[in-house]
Chain A
């Protein structure tokens, strides 16, 4: 019999209390208990990045992370990424054609948001390295990279 435990964490800026069972993953809790389906299940083995969320600001594969360890932590999912930078990233990826089936897109937006928060103007090589944990089967990545470059370009234009 697996133990059930109550956990309180800040999810997208709001304190939430939820049950976790045994060692279940943060991804399963987000999707099934908190009904935040924007974080996608792609592999359950930390290989595809579709489940990427930010934990205390760092990108992690939520399918490989023990939900119990989220106690008292800050988690941001795609649903909560509505700051100016993330908004512009979503706008850019929509415009460059970087969204096809879209299943990888939330994980990629989360990953790229964390990259751009820390690095002002990553070059293409660094962008691709940052994306190496996010599999996209549809786009072949080029238009996704273009979206990041467009945001960086926009940053320059805005003088920020």
Chain B
């Protein structure tokens, strides 16, 4: 097994073109090393891209662009992300301890496509696009919803790497929040990870747009589009919120696992949703963002 430390995107794309599915991309390796050691990932070449400086950075230019190698700690501490994309900053800051966050990257978290990935629900409600590059075909962008195709499965072609994430700037009178259901207050994979983006109308009495995403409710993180449909244009009152919560649950397949039972997940989901709505409404009425 080859171990290649790469310093440019070009070099990396070249190796990916050569090795394809025999390559494993590794940045900080907090997830990838475990997968390789346990044999769950097989690779002939490990492409160590931790030091690709070109893939760092956060820039605003009509939309927000986050380099794929931005690490969790950088995301959690970035003041602009905390204000604009609060759900993402909170999720990143709750993704393991600081030792993990120092080297775990947004690109790694998304491309691993774990069913319980912390960053996926916020990125989904923020309507994120992922930018992918390959040597042969150049670049393409894909909505994150289309990118995540199953448990540990993505639409990344074997010769592609993620280079950046693009997030449209949130609308005025909107807020986004991430609710993580976990047993301790840190170092946990979510039992349920629920992200909500809520935009109110001018009078702040009716919901203009709403996006709901969930991890822990099935083999992959998903947008609860039926529930979104029920709430768009509605006043956020108990009855319709309750109906929306039921619609989210209906879309879920809850399982028993070592972390929590299916019963608990089903019981906590409507509560988490209701809490997320309260948090977003409070944030919007406080300062409209």
Q: Is A in direct contact with B (CB under 8 Å) within the complex? A: yes
Q: Per-position contact with B for A36-76: 1 when CB-CB < 8 Å, else 0?
A: 00000000011101001001001111001110110110000
Alpha-carbon gap, A33 to B68, bound state (A): 34
Contact of A133 among B1, B50, B93, B97 (CB under 8 A): B97
Q: Are B5 and A133 in contact (CB under 8 A)?
A: no
Interface residues in chain A, defined as those with a beta carbon under 8 Å from any beta carbon in chain B: 3, 5, 22-23, 25, 45-47, 49, 52, 55, 58-61, 64-66, 68-69, 71-72, 111, 129-130, 132-134
Nearest residue (CB) in B for A54 is: B102
Nearest-Cβ distance from residue A27 to partner chain B, whole angstroms: 12
Q: Are B97 and A64 in contact (CB under 8 A)?
A: no
Q: List 21 A-B contacts (CB under 8 A).
A: A5-B3, A23-B36, A23-B37, A45-B34, A46-B96, A55-B103, A59-B99, A64-B30, A64-B34, A65-B29, A65-B103, A66-B29, A66-B46, A69-B5, A69-B29, A69-B48, A71-B5, A111-B98, A132-B186, A133-B98, A134-B97
CB-CB under 8 A from A61, the residues of chain B are 30, 97, 99-100
Pairs of residues from A and B, 8 with the lowest C-beta to C-beta distance, nearest first: A133-B97, A132-B186, A58-B102, A61-B99, A133-B99, A68-B3, A59-B99, A69-B48
Alpha-carbon gap, A45 to B48, bound state (A): 20
Q: Is the interface of A mostly helix, strand, loop or mixed?
A: mixed
Interface residues in chain B, defined as those with a beta carbon under 8 Å from any beta carbon in chain A: 1, 3, 5, 26, 28-30, 33-34, 36-37, 46, 48, 50, 73, 93, 96-100, 102-103, 185-187
- Beyond A3-B1, A68-B3, A69-B50, whether A23 also contacts B33 by CB under 8 A is yes
Q: Are A133 and B186 in contact (CB under 8 A)?
A: yes
Q: Are B99 and A52 in contact (CB under 8 A)?
A: yes
